[in-house]
Structure 1
């Protein structure tokens, strides 16, 4: 690791673009692809089985478990000749572990060891190779391009055929994360190699804890910019902080993915001694053969502990003499509580089961070391009433049943990070949402800490880490059908065809309380793979447009050069930042009338006419000029202007609407977000 003096000396060398301190980032299926209707792609677009086989996806994550059936190369042709990557051997990983599915494998640990010391000092299981001991990387990679594996489940839950969205695409694995942490230094090296190896898409389920710094000292922003410039789309997770203004990976050249649910629940219900059933949620394969006494943790306080801490089932707070052989009722303290550890505390005290009162994340599947389930507020009231009135309360926790076709779905996940974008607020972030709740995919059998000490080959987990690879897979399919499309064209196709309605036909709501949502929750909406293949119109932009955009935000020349690695000058006067040709429209600081410019490119057969329709944001009238676009042939570009005329101050918050171009076949939709400061 460099000292500050060495860094200063090194920065003076002409060959060095920039030096910044390496920071640490965190790593952020069966039913989900059915929910997205992916199989209809073959039916409606005549996709052959080989359509995606020449597309290569780079996955920067915790590595891969190569023996998983999801990474079988059966039926695949030879590795695309243009791929320049390598199969780097290492600890328990040989050349034989790569195949025509896993075409590349590299790993990076110098950054991690410089910051955290030798891997051995962590006292955890690891391999100095691409082999995955944490499961996260295997899960994301198989979600993107896992081969079809029939009759897969997690201990009987979510049973079905597991497959990636693009099951014939190739995977190049770049292991830059160790023990769920990824340093900037290792990430930058991985980006560099993936881009030079000629991958088509990079999937990154990794990000910094909020707040994200500027783009110019952030490895993900820098690495993804260079990938973008070379024609590689980067899809990245939005983060799991769940609060306004916490969205990560917000650079406009990144496709930023939020998380939402699918139409499936995992119910582990509680039956009380009165025969009353309480609805619970859990990934619980364990069976209780009898009813057991139930005790509220707050009444089983260990000597020296407080009743409050005992109610949260914290370590050393429960009296084992009181909970032995009983089901313990615990309560969540904060949304970031480690729920699994509470079951360990109960087990260590001799408890046989746990009912966790968790109104916030009850529908997110958790795994526990004893029979356990999560209940919401209404069920908690019923349970407390039973415990209060019954002298000898008893209950039984049932193993999980998988329930399909649930409504409404999707719903925004409680943990999914939200906008606004705090770095460049004129760009609405996230960009899109996709399935990220209770997703089944490949796993490392060594990663048993996350699976309640049970070794499994497939696991169900949640996070924007799970939604990101769904979008990466759709981008891969689009790239296979439109090989010449730029990253921003693919991004535009995904964004402008998204839907904002759930399967009941109403606007998407947010868990846990079914609250209304805005583009700061889901960006342009929920991904629609079929529509994204044929979007009608495209909003395209390149790295020169990005540089103009950064100049317009007031960024320093030195900062921008840090990102690009090139000397440059900014236009004077600069274009307004809201004029980047982005598929959504945002104006973060609107004083009076503002005119926003956009250009669309037509992709279709023969002449067509698109007409503009606007759903006005509250307190603003929008006028589109021209409001009719007449195209003669595919590839033709046309510009238009949207004049936003405010008549009401939005009082420091954004107001939302949408612009849709329609030609009778396609709806090309852009969300609008405006902060009206003055009229």
Structure 2
């Protein structure tokens, strides 16, 4: 059997197990094969021995099946967070299930090749355990921050990681903060930490009632009616703006809107001074940071900064991206920024 990709999966080849002898080919080869079959009254095919290829570029790429953003439930939180190896992963396999996973498959193998977010998940879980082993006093949020702010989104050539489903450059809606870098995550310099109270405030910003908070967290907590809660102020390692310029949200006039997001960084490295840099793919959003430098003299010292975004009106459904980085010359603490006009 020859299994050919459609346009959705392009040239991505997933090494799935099949009952029948199967050759999987990309869309281009598949189109050529179908054209040949249609043009020849007696088409033939030959199976020949292949060769292992190493150093295939570009690598990594965002798989066609990878989960994508934007976040449809809470657009103020950028998703996905990051990406990790999940394509054609060779690993041990239980003998209780055949390689296809189907109940009819009675074959028994000790290894199998599997693809999916279910494969990237154990990679990230293992990296989180690695960071936890090196820093046992770090919170889950600090570990997550370390993995996100040290992730990379460009190849060594400087080009952006490719989205294999389109053949074009991927965006933070595809890779989040980027592809994990285990070594860099062990020494992130600064982290965006979160405590239980931060998550409770986030639920308050979502207008959760006390009973709903109890149901969700098992905690007795009532939101302070005199306090203004903000979804954008969750101390997350990324930024996501849902821009409703038609209503002039955040003090806008209808033609533009202004949003201010506050973040707190915790020093987990040596004393240092970090300076901020910003970049954007659109001129329709102006960014400024106050203060522009943060000096840390002690371990676990915290410093807060505010980012002001001034966005011009654009058609609903428009999206663009930016980036904010803090650096002391040794560490780069990077945060992706997503803008979506609604």
Listed as ranges, the matches of 1:2-81 within 5 Å are none
Partner of 2:274: 610
Q: Over aligned residue pairs, what C-alpha RMSD do you find?
A: 1.9
Question: Are 2:267 and 2:300, in contact at CA under 8 Å, matched by a contact in 1?
Answer: yes
Secondary structure of the residue aligned to 2:340 is strand
**C-alpha deviation, 1:650, in angstroms:** 5.2
- Which residue of 1 is the match for residue 52 of structure 2? 402
Shift of 1:370: 2.8
- Aligned pairs for 1:103-114 (under 5 A) are none
Q: Is the 8 A contact 2:18 2:100 kept in 1?
A: no
For the structure 1 residues 399 and 468, does the alpha-carbon distance in structure 2 shift closer, same or farther, using more than 3 Å as the test? Answer: farther
- Partner residue of 1:476 out of 129, 141, 164: 129
| Structure index of larger Rg | 1
Residue matched to 2:241: 587
Please tell me whether residue 492 in structure 1 is matched to residue 145 in structure 2: yes
Structure 2 partner of 1:386? 36
User: 1:515 aligns to what?
Assistant: 168
1:388 deviates by 3.7
Structure-1 residue corresponding to 2:207: 554
Distance 1:404 1:418 in 2: 28
Q: Which residue of 1 aligns with 2:254?
A: none
> Quick check: 1:357 aligned with 2:22?
no
2:253 matched residue in structure 1: none
State whether residues 410 and 503 of structure 1, in contact with CA within 8 Å, keep that contact through their aligned partners in structure 2. Answer: no
Q: Which runs of 5+ in 2 are unaligned?
A: 250-256
| Partner residue, 1:574 | 228
* 1:427 lines up with 2:70 in the alignment: no
Deviations 1:409-439 (A, max 9, x none): 1111111121122222211111110000000
Deviation at 1:399, TM superposition (A): 5.5
Query: Which residue is equivalent to 1:414?
Result: 64
Report the Cα distance in structure 1 between the residues aligned to 2:18 and 2:48, rounded to whole angstroms. Answer: 13
Aligned match of 1:667: 332
Q: Cα offset for 1:574?
A: 2.7
Q: Secondary structure at the match of 1:491?
A: helix
Q: Deviations over 1:604-645 (max 9, x none)?
A: 12x311110011252101000001111112211111010001
Q: Residues 374 and 573 (structure 1 numbering): CA distance in 2 closer, same or farther, change over 3 Å?
A: same
1:651 counterpart residue number: 316
Is residue 579–residue 596 contact of structure 1 (8 Å, CA) maintained in 2? yes
Q: Secondary structure at the match of 1:396?
A: coil
1:389 and 1:673, CA in 2 relative to 1: closer, same or farther beyond 3 A? closer
Distance in 2 (CA, whole Å) between partners of 1:604 and 1:641 is 22
CA contact (8 A) 1:371 1:397 kept: no
Preserved contact between residue 650 and residue 675 of structure 1 (Cα < 8 Å): no
TM-superposition CA deviations, 1:42-89 (whole Å, max 9, x none) = xxxxxxxxxxxxxxxxxxxxxxxxxxxxxxxxxxxxxxxxxxxxxxxx
Is 1:641 the counterpart of 2:306? The answer is yes
Deviation, 1:585, is: 1.1
Which residue is equivalent to 1:341? none
Count of residue pairs brought into register by the alignment: 323
Cα distance in 1 for partners of 2:4, 2:99 equals 23
1:15 aligns to what?
Answer: none
Give, in whole Å, the separation in 2 of the partners of 1:399 and 1:503.
Answer: 33
Shift of 1:453: 5.1
